[in-house]
Structure 1
Amino acid sequence: MTIQGASPGLYNEDLAPAKVRNWGPFSIFNVWTSDVHSLWGYYLAASLFLFCGGFVNFIIAIGIGSLIIFALMNLVGYAGVKTGVPYPVLARASFGIWGANIPALVRAIVACFWYGAQTAAASGAIVALLTRTQWFADFHQNTHFLGHSGLDVICFFIMWVLQLLIIQRGMETVRRFQDWAGPAVWIMMLILAVYLCVKAGTFAITSDIPMDVLLEKTKDAGVPGTPGSWTSLFAVAAIWVTYFAALYLNFCDFARYAPDKAAVRKGNIWGLPVNLILFSLVAGVTTIAAWDVYHEVLIHPDQISAKFDSWFLAALAALTFAVATLGINVVANFVSPAFDFSNVFPRQVNFKKGGYIAALIALALYPFSPWDGGAANFVNIIGATMGPIFGVMMVDYYLIRKGEVDVEALYHEDGEFRFQNGWHVNAFIAAGIGAIFSTILPNFTDWLPAWWGVYGWFFGVAIAGAVYYALRQAALGAGVKAAKA
């Protein structure tokens, strides 16, 4: 679609509706292989395994969560296919042409946090490999700056630079990179699982990790109930759903390049419930085998590969995990802020410059490492911030507009989406109320039950969506009465 007379403050070539739509089911599938098959994805899956107390419980909880993720991603993906626009432009329909900059910046800031977390995970895999050599181990132990070991800092910076090289040639390069990076880590995950099962002398799907060890490892995660209880299983499913909170918002950044809804649906069904359950199955088997072999709870794959007797196998594992983690960073945490920052300053910032801004913010965050700590807590806190935005956008698109949006008006200052001088007050009221219950009260007060934070994203979606629907219906009703008068 060609936009006629677009306002310069709302339009550039990167924000325009997609013209080339060559992302078939395989490319959509590999959005998810790139997103899930990372050190953080494995770390989270292995961490959640501990809360389930057993393999069958784990697969049930992850399976339920994965089906919910599939349904939600289809909602977002279909909107991307139909409109052809990226997330910050679609947000204009509910938040206003200028108001959309706020949800765009929220998503961009979250991406910067994740960008740093994933880069640190990738560099950690390389550090684990290098410290097998005594010289590097001594350097790692004795040299420190910026609050980290010198080796950590150097490896982080190298990984940081490599990601910038991938993005140099735009979204088509991203597609080609993810098409091989995602499957590569699947192969390495299977090698890891087979290696440990061979060393353990058995293939086990029954966990023999003692309950006292599970309790010790999970005591500070904020998940209610003991491992294996129903409350823990519901929490595992909720955390798994919340892990994808950022991509619920901006999956349309990728789906808009798909030719039709069928391509999105096929890519999603293989990339989400099928791929997620199989990936989690491998993570569970590997965690059990690692306990049987080393009598330690090892939930970081780089910790496991560092124990390999074969230097070659350890190097192959470290490099594969590093590449895979770069893949998720490019897909989930570079593309989105690139569009988001470009949306705020379309005349000054294009796709590449927006991505560079995100990378620089992540680099500045590194000395503080806000992503350090438990996986479940980090996922819940970060994810909850985006629930209210998602609730408002989906209610607006599907319940208020019935899936029909005037795409051209998204690029005009004086069109349908101007609302109150470019800001839709009702959307911000709804999102603000949702944020109080999803983020502010559970994280900064003790007014709510301890388990509330685990479900913060869900509360944010439901409360913000319901408030927005009520406000819109009231506004529409008032408009009808005024017209009749």
Structure 2
Amino acid sequence: MSAPAAPREKDLARGPSDATVHPASYLEDHHRSNHRLYNDDIAPRDGHGTWGTGNLFNWWMSAWHSLGGYAFAVGLFALGLNGWQTLLGLSLGMLVMLGAANLMGVAGQKAGVPFAVFARMSFGVFGANIPALIRAVVAVAWYGIQTYLAAMAVKVLVIRVWSGAAAIDGAGFLGLSGLEWICLLALWALQLLVLQRGMETVKKFSDFAGPTIWVAMLALALWVLAQADWKLDWTTHFGGEAPTFWGGAVLVCGAAFSTLSYMAGPILNFADFTRLGSSAASVRRGNSLGLVLNGIAFALVSVVIGIASAEVYGEPVTDPIALIAELDNVSLVLVAAIAVSAAQVGVNVICNFVSASFDFAHLWPKRISFKIGGAITAVLSIVIMPWKVYSTPVLVNTFLGGVGALIGPLFGIIMADFYLRRKQRVRVADLYTDGPQGVYHYNNGVNWRNVAAFVVAGAVTMVIALVDTFSDLAPFSWLIGVVLGGLLSLVFQDRNHPVA
């Protein structure tokens, strides 16, 4: 379908000085019929956004406050770091992450479109299906895994408060007991219900879920500290002998960029949320408060629990569910398990569910809405049997590690293209135009130059992530991918092609 008549020139482009232009009105008139690129769910923001600083602060609380966030933080001890080195690495990683989150967050707020639509600038209106599909695959896999982990937390709660639960925890089907299936499907349905009610409900649930886990984390911290007689050894290296000064510095840097890699996926599709931001300033403030202030506080409590649990059990406990199960107060178990489960649902919805739903809607706008994309995500998350994926480290490292290694090059290409090449200018109307006159049409809708940059940079990062010879560089695969992808994008660019 060729594009309809172009709208007024003043509506076409947004740059640093015209971020308040909102083109939804003319898109409804001129582009609604273009079902190859447009539906109501992936349309640009209409009017000023409703997500303020507080909402984004809670978004980051939901993103960090999870079983995975704790397990990742405490898992850094295995690299050979002691307590203060682990906290330093986590803190440095969050500071670097703040820069990346501000880049993508402000870009999303300025353009007012979901991530997959935003990627059309760099990859073409049809070529953007490449980053959309990659992000969707990663999101579906982690969505299933996180749902399974949350279900196990609920199982702990049920067994502690209902003695008859043990009777249905034995018989199994496809690797899960009857009780585990009940817990899994209950959380699966709850998350689907949240998403089916739209982004405003997602915002409200995020505002609730993010803070709730502080109840459980503080309770666990106080309990395990009491068990350890309030002793904390910040200098013990749980992963082996103490490294040299320079070896320790390398390990701290590796921990920092591993932290960034842990959140690389949500940062890539951060525009799905910040497109609803009320202003660029509110995005930056929300990131600073939620990511740096709250993130470092959560890291501190996680490290304290890890060190204290090592004092009690001989090694750091990476699974907070195991600690919850040890609590000797049923009421405290109830509160802690509910808080952890709510937080787990929160992180799953905002970091995985929303992204995959938008990405599937982008692949076929005519047939797939945001809600249908959510249903597809939910079904696939069960089909892949995430409990088997999670229990197979080789599969996690090979598949998810390999696909995840492609996130860095995508981020580098899109950010270099938007900030360095286009100088933050975007023709929003052309993001929904499939005719050759559209600036993002390129070659039949695909920017093959950036596709080539992605293939080269992605091949390098996958080798680094998956080949044992380069294991020392693996923690830096995201950074290498960002730099290499961005540089190749600028080198391969067509200087005769208009940027806006």
User: CA 1:226 to 1:143, structure 2 compared with 1: closer, same or farther past 3 Å?
Assistant: farther
* 1:465 has 2:490 as partner: no
How big is the shift at 1:345? 1.0
User: Corresponding residue for 2:254?
Assistant: 235
Counterparts of 1:10-409 in structure 2 under 5 Å?
10-19=37-46, 20-51=48-79, 53-132=81-160, 135-137=164-166, 139-140=168-169, 142-202=170-230, 204=232, 206=234, 208=236, 211=237, 214-215=239-240, 229-366=248-385, 369-372=388-391, 377=397, 380-409=401-430
Q: Residue 192 of structure 2 contacts residue 375 of structure 2 at CA under 8 Å; is this kept in 1? A: yes
Deviations 1:113-165 (A, max 9, x none): 1101110110111223334466534643x322212333333322221111111
How big is the shift at 1:52? 5.1
How big is the shift at 1:168? 2.3
User: Corresponding residue for 1:432?
Assistant: 455
User: CA 1:149 to 1:296, structure 2 compared with 1: closer, same or farther past 3 Å?
Assistant: farther
User: Corresponding residue for 2:35?
Assistant: 8
How big is the shift at 1:296? 4.4
Structure 2: distance between partners of 1:273 and 1:382: 27
Structure 2: distance between partners of 1:411 and 1:119: 34
Look up the SS of the partner of 1:417 in the other structure.
coil
Structure 1: distance between partners of 2:39 and 2:484: 34
TM-score, normalisation: structure 1:
0.90
2:434 to 393, 413, 435: 413
Q: Residue 80 of structure 2 contacts residue 240 of structure 2 at CA under 8 Å; is this kept in 1? A: no
Structure 2: distance between partners of 1:336 and 1:420: 27
User: Corresponding residue for 2:464?
Assistant: 442
Q: Residue 338 of structure 1 contacts residue 354 of structure 1 at CA under 8 Å; is this kept in 2? A: yes
Q: Residue 231 of structure 2 contacts residue 311 of structure 2 at CA under 8 Å; is this kept in 1? A: no
Q: Which amino acid aligns with 2:253?
A: F
Q: Residue 146 of structure 1 contacts residue 367 of structure 1 at CA under 8 Å; is this kept in 2? A: no
User: Corresponding residue for 1:219?
Assistant: none
How big is the shift at 1:10? 0.8
Q: Residue 401 of structure 2 contacts residue 465 of structure 2 at CA under 8 Å; is this kept in 1? A: no
How big is the shift at 1:283? 0.4
Same amino acid, percent of matched pairs = 37
Structure 1: distance between partners of 2:273 and 2:391: 29
Structure 1: distance between partners of 2:354 and 2:460: 29
Q: Residue 49 of structure 1 contacts residue 58 of structure 1 at CA under 8 Å; is this kept in 2? A: yes
Q: Residue 215 of structure 2 contacts residue 339 of structure 2 at CA under 8 Å; is this kept in 1? A: no
Unaligned 5+ segments in structure 1 are: 217-223, 481-485
Q: Residue 380 of structure 1 contacts residue 457 of structure 1 at CA under 8 Å; is this kept in 2? A: no
The worse-fitting range, judged by mean Cα deviation, of 286-295 and 199-208 is 199-208
Structure 2: distance between partners of 1:318 and 1:75: 36
Q: Which amino acid aligns with 1:301?
A: P
How big is the shift at 1:225? 9.4
Q: Residue 145 of structure 2 contacts residue 387 of structure 2 at CA under 8 Å; is this kept in 1? A: no
Q: How many residues are treated as equivalent by the alignment?
A: 464
User: Corresponding residue for 1:483?
Assistant: none
Structure 1: distance between partners of 2:112 and 2:388: 36
How big is the shift at 1:297? 2.7
Unaligned 5+ segments in structure 2 are: 1-22
Look up the SS of the partner of 1:306 in the other structure.
helix
Q: Residue 50 of structure 1 contacts residue 227 of structure 1 at CA under 8 Å; is this kept in 2? A: no
Q: Residue 195 of structure 2 contacts residue 349 of structure 2 at CA under 8 Å; is this kept in 1? A: yes
User: CA 1:445 to 1:43, structure 2 compared with 1: closer, same or farther past 3 Å?
Assistant: closer
Q: Which amino acid aligns with 1:150?
A: G
Look up the SS of the partner of 1:418 in the other structure.
coil
Q: Which amino acid aligns with 2:144?
A: G
How big is the shift at 1:433? 0.4
Q: Residue 93 of structure 2 contacts residue 259 of structure 2 at CA under 8 Å; is this kept in 1? A: yes
The worse-fitting range, judged by mean Cα deviation, of 455-464 and 124-133 is 124-133
TM-score, normalisation: structure 2:
0.87
User: CA 1:444 to 1:277, structure 2 compared with 1: closer, same or farther past 3 Å?
Assistant: closer
How big is the shift at 1:374? 6.0
How big is the shift at 1:12? 1.1
Q: Residue 254 of structure 2 contacts residue 475 of structure 2 at CA under 8 Å; is this kept in 1? A: yes
Deviations 1:370-409 (A, max 9, x none): 2335699587545312111111101110111011111111
Deviations 1:2-29 (A, max 9, x none): 2141122111111111125111100011
Q: Residue 239 of structure 1 contacts residue 380 of structure 1 at CA under 8 Å; is this kept in 2? A: no
Q: What root-mean-square deviation, in Å, do the aligned CA atoms of Structure 1 and Structure 2 show?
A: 2.5
Structure 1: distance between partners of 2:152 and 2:224: 21
Look up the SS of the partner of 2:426 in the other structure.
coil
